[in-house]
Amino acid sequence: MKGKRGSVTRRNFLKGAVAGAAAVGMGDMLFAPDKVLAEEMGTVTGIKEYASQCPYCGVGCGTIIKADKTGKIIGVVPDKQHPTNKGVQCIKGLNADEPTYIDRLTQVLIRKDMSDPITGYVSKSKGSFDDNDFRVATYKEAEELVLKKTKQIYDKFGGNAIGLYGSGQLTVEAQWIENKLMKGVLQSNSIEANARMCMTSAVTGYIATLGSDTPPLSYDDLELSDMITFWGHNARESHPIIFWRIADHKKAKGIPTCVSDPRRTGTAQALESINPRNSYHFRTINGDISILNAIGHCLVTDHNDVIAYDFLKANVAGWEDYIKMVKEEYKPENVKDRTQVDPKLIRTVAAQWAEATRKGNKRGTGGVISMWGIGYNQHIHGQHNIISLINLHALTGNIGRPGAGPFSMTGQPNAMGERLMGGLTSRLPFNCGLDDEKRRKHTAETWSMPMARLDKAMSYKNPGFMVGLFERVLKGEIKQLFYMYTTHVHQPDVLNLVRPGMTKSFTIVQDIYRHAPNNLYADVIFPCLTWGEWQGGTYISSERRINVVDGVGKGAPGLENCVPDLDYAIDKGISIANALGLDGKKIFPYKKKKFHPDGPLMYDSEEVFDEIVRGSKGSDADLSGMKEVKEKDGVGYYDQIRKLKGMQWPAPTYEIAKDGGTKRRYMGQEGWDAKPYGNFR
């Protein structure tokens, strides 16, 4: 049956039926056969397969992209060999190819009536993306226009008057380049990304407690746990593969689970359907910190045998004050007005936490895992949510061993990469601040530029981070904006802050869709290739697993003018660096090659990754072991990752890199004798 837009083809019906059966039933058929999809695709000749990571969420499922001989993507199936999803995929991943060819942007466009922040002129056509408001241009013409405007603004107002907004959908390599361009070449500290709005609470919570933005666990720990709690995390909807693994574990081992969410989410319902007797639900409205402290009270007063006093004395500062506080101030009955939760339920969950801890202590593996999602991060006090949760893990020693610990789940497929590459205000790559002189010097050397440029970037401020950046745009302090592989519609106060700012500024957009919201306010629009079309590059999943995101190496027919985001960033970097008196080719020394016989020349992202590996040396995300493997065994970086189906950072030594990186962090679990920190950073 041939399908029309809006109709249901046999392949789509089968994909939906398979995913629906798994999601709803959670029964014995999670590993549903994908041969039905293969049958459909088998009727097409010349199919080629490319192993990649799913582009949707932060789980990082292995995905096989199937493309026909013209380079058009015709479907995706799960990678049976990938350790994350093991041949299973959710409905989002199974349909990852569906949006690829809808409303594609195919030409470079320049707005006829552009805003000019140098003179103060504001375009009268912004807010429209009608064809009549744009003219078609060549790549060269648009690049020269962007270069001219950038140079004028830099010379008159300084580099910090130029801002960039990136995302966790860019590859690690593109994120590295954007940070090099902004902080190094332009000396700008005005760089933000989606990660600010979704994951910064987790980042700062990890840093405040563990000393580094480093999730300590792997997905394999889920099946080792004795209890799993969810905080602001509807895993069944947002991270289905992880939820299915947990659901299977609950069915097999009978572990207790607890959900904290004001709604009776699909996660809460499904866990109750497995075993209502040990599936708990805190239906609180913003009372999580009080709940966690009340659980701490119960553990200290009623289950003192599970308090990890030796661990606390050796590794934790301020634990005496914490215990005193929860004992005196957080009796469950005394905080009911804040939590709206029955004190008996809190005491019951605390008892389950204690029992799971005892089991973990006895075996040396297992205990409690606490997972959280964006719903837990996106609070004014989001950082304190995370600190309170990690406090409870430290109190009971549920950290630094297999099967126990705090576990944040990212939203975008490479939000972890955005954080690790330092694509935010005042950050350097590899969990370091821009104020770290030693790392600033090392980064400048890796980027082949004078350290003084990063010193200058550090001297600039961007108060308020993402929101502050757009307040500065609206005030006229930021004159130019780059948008890379993201949209503005998720940002706060779109109508009164973001869109008025985009209207005033000279705005450059890289996008794949002709009628994407950013284009309403763009002055220059570059058409991009997207996931599945470029070749190479990497994403990093929530368990610190680096995956290569291979693709066709070209766009489908009709997309000949589209270019990878990485290529745009490198080309801009070279031209802007040269215009500012730097050696662009020295700073961006990468070469282009063909990845498909009929495809265009593209920059080799593995050359960028080589630079990333060198830049990581000496950090707590050190990847130097991959370099040793390359030199000793002759296996390239990407081939190492492909062969192992992922590399979990850090991979600081030859032995660790050969074994696929570091599964677990802290308390010596890394097997890294020369690590630049103790039990914790």
Average pLDDT of the chain is: 93
Average pLDDT over residues 326-346: 97
Residue 438: is its pLDDT beyond 50? yes
Cα-Cα-Cα-Cα dihedral sign, residues 530, 535, 537, 541 = positive
pLDDT-wise least confident of 21-35, 257-271, 582-596: 21-35
Confidence band for 304, pLDDT divided at 50, 70 and 90 = very high
CB 525 within 8 A of CB 515: no
Residue owning tokens 């592989």: 485
3-state secondary structure of 379: coil
Compute φ and ψ for 653, nearest 5 degrees. -125, 165
Query: What does the domain layout of the chain look like in residue ranges?
Result: 108-199+414-528+563-588, 200-408, 611-681
Q: Which residues contact 535 (CB under 8 A, 6 or more apart)?
A: 50, 550, 551, 552, 553, 595, 596, 602, 605
Please report the pLDDT score of residue 537 as a whole number.
97
pLDDT at 195 (0 to 100) = 81
Separation of alpha carbons 431 and 427, rounded Å: 8
Q: Does residue 579 have a pLDDT over 90?
A: yes
Instruction: Note the helical H segments in 378-430.
Output: 382-396, 415-420
200-408 has which CATH code?
Answer: 3.40.228.10
Coil, strand or helix: which one is 25?
helix
Give residue 44's pLDDT band: very low, low, confident or very high (50, 70, 90).
low
Torsion angle, CA of 198/202/203/209, rounded to 10 degrees? 170
Task: Over range 11-15, report the average pLDDT.
Answer: 44
Query: In whole angstroms, what is the distance from residue 632 CA to residue 626 CA?
Result: 10
pLDDT confidence bin for 380, thresholds 50/70/90 = confident
541-566 pLDDT, tens digit each: 999 999 999 999 999 999 999 999 99
Distance of alpha carbon 109 from alpha carbon 246, whole angstroms:
47
Taking residues 578-594, report their average pLDDT. Answer: 98
Rounded-to-integer distance, Cα 521 and Cα 630, Å: 46
Yes or no: say if 664 and 217 are a contact pair by the CB < 8 Å rule.
Answer: yes
Q: Do the domains at 108-199+414-528+563-588 and 200-408 have one common CATH topology?
A: no
* Separation CA 618–CA 606 (nearest Å): 21
CATH no. for 108-199+414-528+563-588? 3.40.50.740
Mean pLDDT computed over 330-348: 97
Q: What's the pLDDT at 358?
A: 99
Angle between helices 437-446 and 605-616 (to 10 degrees): 150
Confidence check: pLDDT of 652 > 50: yes
